[in-house]
Structure 1
Amino acid sequence: MYKILLADDEGIVIDSLKMIIQKNYGAQCDIESAKTGRSVVEMAEMFRPDIIFMDIQMPGINGIEAMKEIRKTNPKVVFIVVSAYDKFDYAREALNLGALDYINKPFDRRTILDVLSRAMAGLDQEKRIRSKSLEIREKMETVQPLIENGFVYSILFQDNFAEETENYKNLLDIKVNYGFMEVVEFGSEEEGKKLTNAVGTGIRLQKQYINIRETIREFQDCITGSMMGNKIMLFVPADVPKSDYNDRTDRIEKCRAMIDRLQERFEAEVRVGVGRIKPIAKMADSYREALEALNVAPSRVAHAEDLPVGCSYDSDYPIEVENALFDAVGNGNRDLAAEKAEQFFGWMEESYPDHLMDVRLKSLEFVLLAEKKAYESGGQTYHFTSRTDYLPTVMGFGDFSDLRHWFVVHMSQAAMDVATKKDETSDDLISRVRSRIDLEYSGELSLDLISRDENVSSYYLSRLFKEEMGENFMEYLTGVRINKAKELMNNTDRPMKEICVSVGYSDPNYFSRIFKKTTGMTPTEYREDRLR
């Protein structure tokens, strides 16, 4: 059904338009009319038309002014201007107001039907777009909690998965690089700093998760994780790397209001722990602060900034450089580790030129922590006496120059050890798999079998094999088998069935299909081609 409003001060024009429309569209159109500018505006507000045929010259408010007024309350309406005045200024202003067309009187039936058909087609397209948009929104409402939970899991529990986190950020349209974690905790009663019956309350509220999530979003612009036990984790985006006093106060008040609503709706005691603002890559630290705040404070809202939670630093301490340095070590990025080590040591030397002993201690602390990361990355054996000379060496440096060199070399070496051991471990595994394929290609080899023998998951081995070799496990195995088959066909006159079995295929027909898919010809065609 299309709602059409005819606006003209001449009754004969209205009657003509109505007759043309009704004759061709019948009950598809609901038609109303008005003869003055004021009545057009009033009728448009009450009738809410889809299409308006608008005359320019009408008593009182003219057509152009009426269009401007109607646009304020009905911005989607389609205007078709009909006028006896063939003036460029009128046409230009009408088109500027979004009129679909400007028709001069007298008009004929074909002109009216053509412009009306275009107007209806445009409206139908708009309806399809709106319908599709609603359908997408409905689907997104279904998968949104899953995406949000995936993001929260990614930033809290998966180290070195920056690409995955970026993908989630794009899906959720997260533009900022900072944020903080909140932990919403549910229970039956408060006992000091704890809520009782955590397990029972968590089980009871699992069924209410969607409703709880919607209630939280009434107060928080946040990404909501799933309910884990009796807790829900929230990521709250932040534009700045640090909150001021007013921001913190506002946050606490929002949490208090949210707690009141949650307790009222779900009949449970609620507490909220709030962590400090961190880079997204450091959300696990903010999460730990939020948990610790809940453990330290007995209040309903526990903010890490208000409590002895985590570590505070001097105002000029380069904590971001420190974090970047240890991230580079953990990621095996030797060049970046060396750059950040130089930067951090430069700060120490500039800020504390008369504190060589403190700089020695800090340098030794960092090197030991970095090497611990390297050991924990795997592939190395820790020897208790391997660093016997570190302390006397550091104490023997009489100036910053030699100490700087020692510090940078050891930090970058730790990063290189991480990278090397990762590469060596991967290379050794793939080398063993390739050797086994080369030796046992004629047997019943499978990815699952080799994964079990190597004590790694088939998913991990498959991904690693594809990354190292540029093709998947089965493609490589097939290539080896086909090459061996070609070798036997080139150098022996053994029967084709025997060759088929000797390279690992029990079914000659399947062997023939695989051979042709790989080489472009059947085994028989290949052998005949070599004999010519």
Structure 2
Amino acid sequence: MVKLLIVDDEHIVIESLKFIIEKHVEGVEVVGTARSGREAIEKTLNLKPDVVFMDIHMPGINGMDAIRHIQASHKDVLFVIITAYEYFQHAKDAVNLGVFEYLLKPLNKHKVMKTLQDIHEVIYHKREIIKKEMMLREKIDKILPHVEGQFMYSQLFNSNIIKDITFYEEIFGMKLKKGYVMMAILEEIKLDKKEDNLKNSLVKQKFYDAFKMELKNACPCLMAPPLLDRVVAYIPVEEDADAYQIRNAAITYAKSIAKRLRPIVSIPYKIGIGKSYDIDYFSQSANEAYIAVSISNQDTVIHYEDVQLPSSSIDIYPASKEKMLIHKILTGNMEEALGVFEEIYWWMTGHYEMDVDKVKSKLIELLILIQRSIPQIMNSSSIIEENYLLQIVKINSMEELKLSYSNYLKTTILNLEDSKEKEIKGLITKAIKYIDKNLHKNINLNDVAEDMNMSYHYFSRFFKESIGKNFVDYLTDLRIQKSKEILKDVTVNIKEVCFMVGYSDPNYFSKIFKKVTGMTPTEYRNSVLSQGVI
């Protein structure tokens, strides 16, 4: 609905316009009237009309001045001048003010109707544009976090060199060519009870959310989704900014965030900050942020350049991370597996001072450990390992080495999941064949589990996850379906049908049959015969 305010010092003009609009114009509502320029200004503030019919000559503030006042605070309002005087200066002023139409008194009904129809189209067209813009903005707001996450994952795990950085700068609305990594890592808390673990997960999520909100409020930045025990952010800086000023600003941001988080979160954490680099060296800054946190003892916030590195760099190899990596590979959790590998790789680059050969040697050791830990269900496993060993020996770039190893882990997880899926399909096929073969017997879940060489409880869960229904329901449906086929043969009596599908009690068979089909076996047979179905 288009809202209209009529302004004229003649009562008859106002009533005439209201009559024309109410009788002949749809989609327009007269929300108010005014008899002077001052009253028009006041009512526009309160009623917020879409269009104002404004007389020029009125006592006090005239129409032109009233339009100027209203336009100062309501730029979207459309104006139609109504006047008994056809002066050139009035027309010129109207054009300068962007007035939509200029109507002369006495008002012509058809001219008024045409003007309002035109206004209606203009306003609704404008509203459609705004609506589409809002919908587009909503879609962008929904997509943007995913794009941000993918961009950060790409830098963390793939170490891709961005070819079209301008594209991402336009999307995120910030310069990205140079910046540094800030990393918050939560200290490990060992808990036994499931409810405590759940509570810990909720506390961690609360920390991630609070850290993200505070950092994004403090400065323009990009953030990766939470990775295991840490959250990673990239803070862009001006390309010609002074390194020392960047360092101090980064520490100020981090300390300010830590202060604001103190009353919100109780979980212990540390914030590490890497040096600023061109975005192509994102991983270097990430390595430094991780090293800063790993070496820091008491400080909650530590910059890499403030760390006193020991001569042997980081002494303790994170062996526990190897076990965690293998666990993530075996469970098919690709995202978390890459996150754990990232930590191991950061340790290696810091400990071996970016020596490619030493890092390469350590990665080969890790590769052999992974190979020994993966079940031998992947036929191509040994071929994959052999080909990759040859490939890794030829790599001389730290970035390429990291990217190559990440891709190897992805391939390994995908192949392992594919092999597991094939094995599951084979096992469930074997179970179904056993059930079909022994359907006439009084078999139960334990019989099938024993044939599959699985425990009763494990097979029960395995069967339901694979088939989508529990064993008893599946067996019942299968027996009823089989009995319906046999019942079509009138030479076989009901008792025989009962025994042929594995039931020993005809009364129980009839009860189950009716529960599933809504009919007794006899009623079903008669129904089939009456329909001529053989």
Amino acid at match of 2:41: V
Q: CA contact under 8 A between 2:208 and 2:231: conserved in structure 1?
A: no
Query: Which residue is 1:293 aligned to?
Result: 292
Amino acid at match of 1:217: K
Q: How does 1:257-336 map to 2 (within 5 A)?
A: 257-297=256-296, 298-308=298-308
Q: How much has 1:176 moved relative to structure 2?
A: 4.3
Amino acid at match of 1:220: C
Q: Distance in 2 between matches of 1:154 and 1:108?
A: 67
Q: Distance in 1 between matches of 2:181 and 2:290?
A: 9
Q: How much has 1:270 moved relative to structure 2?
A: 4.3
Q: How much has 1:164 moved relative to structure 2?
A: 6.7
Secondary structure at 2:15's aligned position in 1?
helix
Equivalent residue pairs, number: 322
Distance 1:261 1:169, change over 3 A: same
Distance 1:254 1:115, change over 3 A: farther
Distance 1:266 1:160, change over 3 A: closer
Matching of residue 8 in structure 1 with residue 1 in structure 2 = no
Q: How much has 1:246 moved relative to structure 2?
A: 5.2
Q: How does 1:123-522 map to 2 (within 5 A)?
A: 123-163=123-163, 167-187=167-187, 201=200, 204-206=203-205, 213-243=212-242, 248-297=247-296, 298-308=298-308
Q: TM-score, normalised by structure 2?
A: 0.52
Deviation string, structure 1 residues 438-468 (Cα, Å, up to 9, x no partner): xxxxxxxxxxxxxx9xxxxxxxxxxxxxxxx
Secondary structure at 1:162's aligned position in 2?
coil
Secondary structure at 1:163's aligned position in 2?
coil
Q: CA contact under 8 A between 1:183 and 1:274: conserved in structure 2?
A: yes
Q: Distance in 2 between matches of 1:271 and 1:73?
A: 50
Q: CA contact under 8 A between 1:202 and 1:231: conserved in structure 2?
A: no
Q: Distance in 1 between matches of 2:150 and 2:240?
A: 24
Q: Distance in 1 between matches of 2:121 and 2:172?
A: 34
Q: How much has 1:378 moved relative to structure 2?
A: 7.5
Amino acid at match of 2:223: T
Distance 1:169 1:100, change over 3 A: same
Q: Distance in 2 between matches of 1:275 and 1:51?
A: 58
Secondary structure at 1:31's aligned position in 2?
strand
Matching of residue 62 in structure 1 with residue 62 in structure 2 = yes
Distance 1:258 1:242, change over 3 A: same
Q: How much has 1:275 moved relative to structure 2?
A: 2.2
Aligned-residue Cα RMSD (Å) equals 4.0
Q: Distance in 2 between matches of 1:306 and 1:85?
A: 80
Q: Distance in 1 between matches of 2:170 and 2:390?
A: 33
Q: How much has 1:214 moved relative to structure 2?
A: 3.8
Q: CA contact under 8 A between 1:7 and 1:14: conserved in structure 2?
A: yes
Q: Distance in 2 between matches of 1:198 and 1:177?
A: 40
Distance 1:251 1:270, change over 3 A: same
Amino acid at match of 1:145: P
Residue identity (%): 27
Q: Distance in 1 between matches of 2:287 and 2:187?
A: 20
Matching of residue 42 in structure 1 with residue 42 in structure 2 = yes
Q: Distance in 2 between matches of 1:205 and 1:293?
A: 21
Distance 1:380 1:77, change over 3 A: closer
Distance 1:90 1:168, change over 3 A: same
Deviation string, structure 1 residues 174-223 (Cα, Å, up to 9, x no partner): 4442222211233489xxxxxxx999845643488566644442333211
Q: CA contact under 8 A between 2:31 and 2:47: conserved in structure 1?
A: no
Q: Distance in 2 between matches of 1:304 and 1:146?
A: 29
Secondary structure at 2:107's aligned position in 1?
coil
For structure 2, the residue ranges without an aligned partner over 5 or more in a row are: 190-195, 311-354, 361-387, 405-414, 416-534
Q: Distance in 1 between matches of 2:52 and 2:113?
A: 14
Q: CA contact under 8 A between 2:247 and 2:275: conserved in structure 1?
A: no
Q: How much has 1:244 moved relative to structure 2?
A: 5.6
Q: Distance in 2 between matches of 1:56 and 1:308?
A: 79
Amino acid at match of 1:117: Q
Q: Distance in 2 between matches of 1:75 and 1:115?
A: 20
Q: CA contact under 8 A between 1:198 and 1:229: conserved in structure 2?
A: no
Deviation string, structure 1 residues 101-153 (Cα, Å, up to 9, x no partner): 22233331122122212222222122222222222232233222211011112
Q: CA contact under 8 A between 1:9 and 1:58: conserved in structure 2?
A: yes
Query: Which residue is 1:509 aligned to?
Result: none
Q: Distance in 2 between matches of 1:99 and 1:260?
A: 56
